[in-house]
Structure 1
Amino acid sequence: MKIEQIYTGCLAQGAYYIVSENEAAIIDPLREVKPYLDRLEKDKVTLKYIFETHFHADFVSGHLDLSKKTGAPIVYGPTAEPQFEAIIAEDNQIFEVGKIKIKILHTPGHTMESTTYLLIDENGVETAIFTGDTLFLGDVGRPDLAQKAGSVTQEDLAGILYDSLQNKIMPLDDSITVYPAHGAGSACGKNMQKETVDILGNQKRTNYALNQPDKESFVREVLEGLTAPPKYFGMNVAMNKGGYESLDEVMNKGLNPISAEDFEGFAEETGSLILDTRSPGDFYKEFIPNSINVGLKGDFAPWVGALVVDVKQPILLVSDEGTEEEVITRLSRVGFDNVLGYLKGGFIAWKNADKETDQVNRISSSEFAEVFNSQAKVIDVRKISEYSAEHIENAYNRPLDMISDWVSGIDNSEHFFLHCAGGYRSMIAASILNSHGIRNFTEIDGGFNGIKKTEKLPLTNFVCQSKTL
């Protein structure tokens, strides 16, 4: 028997590849399925089942493409209602893969169809659980995503999750290995550990959610501090449940080179968003006016999802040459399938065509320390939790993921400084502000991490102050 965790850092997501004898199973596959097909061919095994722990919200699964290419059936737990052919398993049902068995443990709460898969090895020993978003390391799945107005509340779901954990997970042996669907950095939980594999006994000892004295305490603690989920989550659920375009077709459409001469007109004609995936260090120097920068070397796809929201939005790419396929793949993981093409030759082609460019006023953190005074207005786009921990005295906290709510309140007649932790998020914000005609600001390279190192600026540990812009 072999268990392989295939972890994707930018999504903080774990898929699982399990082999026994000449058969395999895959749990929660990513959108692009070629890596799985390559593994199957290399191991000379047949994919017998594709197990889905639930209808994912934060990424689009590869279950449909993988099933079409291999003929393996898709398996969901009880109550799931996909709009395509699948096996809807019963609680405690057993599936055999080679000499091992996979047992269905229906564990609703995160969503009503959420299911944990219990692996029983060739000796009949319960060995591992694949918990999806039911149990994370250090946390449990957020119970607010599947609430329905007028019927099921987040409190109801949290209570159901408590029962699932107490009745299905806690009775299992401490020696069982826990393989969750996500780790630290995922928006599906709030308190995840950096590790991606653990022993159940350790989680019973250290996971705050598993150590509540009663259901009422569990509901209160699990719901406390939850921020609004990214707005694209609902669209990803709909794609996972209802189906989507083949990634092969998405790729064929997106790998469409467009010359610098035709690029601007094509963008206007199609209503496309121009998405520049170059690094912030390249973007700020020169870029196509009104383009939005989300650097590929970062949490690229989740930030596109959080800020663009509409997965059907037409997109044109400005990318480093040779990265176009990677960009399209990563966008497809969160459901953005409507890439219509890319700037042929990259940004240098735009420059060589003598096209109009724009830029962001950027200074280093040390330069900022020299020009800062008590009258300077500073906008910090980090998360509320980051800001609350430590920030520049009197700085305003305006989280990047809420920019659509606060951008209209900016007074463009008054200069301000803009920063995040290191410069990635603040450059995203800078590009969005520019696209709204807001230009009277200076972005700080190095962000708060660099600002702290200067040791010249007044910092405070106070929580968010209530001043308005």
Structure 2
Amino acid sequence: MQIDIIETTSLGDRSYLVSAEGVAVVVDPQRDIDRVLGLAADRGVRITTVVETHLHNDYVTGGLELARTVGADYVVPAGDTVQYARVPAADGDVITAGPMRLEVLHTPGHTHHHVSYVLTDAAGEVQAVFTGGSMLYGATGRTDLLGAEHTDTLTHAQYHSVRRLAAALPEGTPVFPTHGFGSFCSATPTSGTSSTVGEQVRVNPALTQDEQAFVDQLLAGLGAYPAYYARMGPLNAAGPEPVDLSAPRTVDGEELACRLTAGEWVVDLRARTAFAAGHLPGALNFELSTNFLTYLGWLYDWGAPLTLIGETAEHVARARRELVRIGIDRLAGAAVGTPEELAAGPSLGSYPVSDFPGLAQAMAADPDLPVLDARRDDERAGGGVRGSLHVPVHELSARIDDVPSGEVWVYCGSGYRASIAASMLARAGRRPVLVNGSYGDPDAGAAAVGLHSGSVAA
């Protein structure tokens, strides 16, 4: 048997292609199924079965379209109510695909009906377990995505589910979770890129703590999660439409200017420093990197016209692929080129870029310097730049009036969220200075302004 990992780093998730003797099973596929189809073709295998561990809350599944495209069985937890035909997976069921057998274990916690799949060969030997959002690497899936009224029940259930997996499986069993590689679906930070049941027995909080200690720790670690999560479960239950990765309509500079004047969502995909050096006034900067999808999906006014600006057609195509993964299927258009090439109106906008040592110098010269901290609440709890105003970037649109007029220095943990915030402030008429650096770097981060992580900030 061969287990291929299909990474989606922008969401912190993994899908899997499991193959043997010319047939294959796919676990928790992403929306852009061409990656799975291409891998199956490379392996020379036929996909006969597609399985889901749960109705996902952080992305739109590609499972339904993949199963229909290749004529495979589509297996979804039996307890989930869906609007399409599927093979229900209930505790104790066994799904067969060639020499592969997948035993279904009900492992509630991340959701009520979550299941894990234990992979065995024809001889009954355990080869792996696919744990979805249950047992992760040094953590578990978060338990608050279905609403506060379910969180306590699901947290206790998660504890017992992880313990059930550990008790049922040999210590050497490889563990293959869907979440936990930067995903907000993880309750607490994960560690590592591979593991076994035996290793998890030694390090996983659900297996090293008593039940109440685990529950208390998990609940204490639950911070904010992207707003678009609320839309994913219903989309997956209804059955997503076939994916569309075609190029959006081309928009010229004159049309861009009209959209910017109207206050529409026009997103510049360039690097944060390039955007700061020169951009179309009114555009927002979501740098096309690992965090692009999470934060655009989090802040986006769902359903509003969305236009992309990319340096190349490839940049636009990459952003398009990312966006369909969370169900942003319809773009108002896209423009390709530099700001200078696309400008059809007044001069370009710009703002300065500095770093934490630069912020320290500016604060020394002006102790009342306006500084904005765009990090999450859990990060702020560990300290912050003295005197800074704390407004998490996902709250900034609603709280823009809290930010002083004029010049404002903006920082976050790495510079990525600060760049989004800076572009929002620029659009609102402020004069941002982007602090582009790592808060946690002792040489160039918070230490440069006299505060270390964990210091109490005013």
TM-score above 0.5, yes or no: yes
C-alpha separation in 1, matches of 2:359 and 2:39: 51
Q: Which amino acid aligns with 1:100?
A: M
Within-5 A mapping of 1:224-243: 224-243=220-239
Residue 350 (1) aligns with residue 364 (2): no
C-alpha distance in 2 between matches for 1:161 and 1:172: 17
Q: Does 1:369 align with 2:365?
A: no
Using the aligned pairs only, state the percent identity. Answer: 26
Closer, same or farther: CA 68–297 of 1 in aligned 2, 3 Å: same
Aligned residue pairs: how many? 454
SS in 1 for 2:19: strand
Cα offset for 1:356? 4.4
- Quick check: 1:319–1:347 contact (8 Å CA) kept in 2? no
- Counterpart in 2 of 1:418? 410
- 1:36 to partner: Cα distance: 1.2
Read off the aligned partner of 1:257 and give its amino acid letter: T
Distance in 2 (CA, whole Å) between partners of 1:68 and 1:463 is 55
> Which letter maps to 1:135?
M
The offset of 1:120, in angstroms, is 0.5
Aligned match of 2:272: 280
**1:400–1:429 CA contact under 8 A, matched in 2:** yes
1:299 partnered with 2:277:
no
Whole-angstrom distance in 1 between the partners of 2:258 and 2:408: 34
* Cα 1:235/1:279, change in 2 over 3 Å: same
1:383 pairs, out of 363, 366, 376, with 376
- Contact conserved, 2:283 with 2:427, CA < 8 A, in 1? yes
Q: After the TM superposition, which residues 19-418 of structure 1 pair with which residues of structure 2 at under 5 Å, given as runs?
A: 19-147=19-147, 152-214=149-211, 216-248=212-244, 251-252=245-246, 254-265=247-258, 272-308=264-300, 310=302, 312-322=303-313, 323-351=315-343, 353=344, 355-373=346-364, 374-412=367-405, 415-418=407-410
Q: CA deviation at 1:462?
A: 4.7
Q: 5+ unaligned residues in a row in structure 1: which ranges? A: none
Deviation at 1:388, TM superposition (A): 4.1
C-alpha displacement of 1:286? 1.7
> Hey, what's the Cα distance between the residues in 1 that align with 2:261 and 2:287?
23
CA distance in 2, matches of 1:237, 1:226: 19
User: Alignment RMSD, CA only?
Assistant: 2.4
Quote how far apart the aligned CAs of 1:435 are.
Answer: 2.5
1:163 and 1:120 map into 2 onto residues whose CA distance is: 23
Following TM superposition, by how much is the alpha carbon of 1:456 offset from its aligned partner in structure 2, in angstroms? 5.0
| Contact 2:309 2:337 survives alignment (8 Å) | no
- Give 1:408 shift: 2.6
TM-score (norm 1): 0.90
More moved, 300-309 vs 369-378: 369-378
Residues in 2 aligned to 1:202 and 1:180: alpha-carbon distance in whole angstroms: 14
- Structure 1 residues 450 and 355 mapped into 2: Cα distance closer, same or farther (>3 Å)? farther
Deviation at 1:460, TM superposition (A): 4.2
Q: How has the CA–CA distance of structure 1 residues 346 and 456 changed in structure 2, closer, same or farther, with 3 Å as cutoff?
A: closer
Structure 2: runs of 5 or more not aligned: none
Change (3 A) 1:147 1:417: closer
CA distance in 2, matches of 1:364, 1:93: 56
Checking the alignment, whether the CA contact within 8 Å between 1:366 and 1:450 is kept in structure 2 is no
TM-score (norm 2): 0.92
SS state of the match for residue 331, structure 1? helix
Secondary structure at the residue paired with 1:153? helix
Deviation for aligned residue 1:339: 1.2
Cα distance in 1 for partners of 2:300, 2:442 equals 29
- Distance, in Å, in 1 between the alignment partners of 2:209 and 2:450 is 40
* Deviation of the 1:464 alpha carbon: 5.4
1:110, 1:161 within 8 Å by CA — same for their partners in 2?
Answer: yes
3-state secondary structure, aligned to 1:116 = strand
- CA distance in 2 between partners of 1:184 and 1:47 (Å): 26
SS in 1 for 2:326: coil
- One-letter identity of the residue aligned with 1:185: G
Is the contact made by 1:18 and 1:24 (CA closer than 8 Å) also made in structure 2? yes
Q: 1:255 to 1:346 in 2, by over 3 A?
A: farther
Return the offset for 1:175: 1.2
d(CA) in 2 for partners of 1:451, 1:201: 36
Do the aligned partners of 2:425 and 2:431 also contact (CA within 8 Å) in 1? Answer: no
Residues 175/69 of structure 1: CA separation in 2 closer, same or farther (3 Å cut): same
* Shift of residue 35, structure 1, vs aligned partner: 1.5
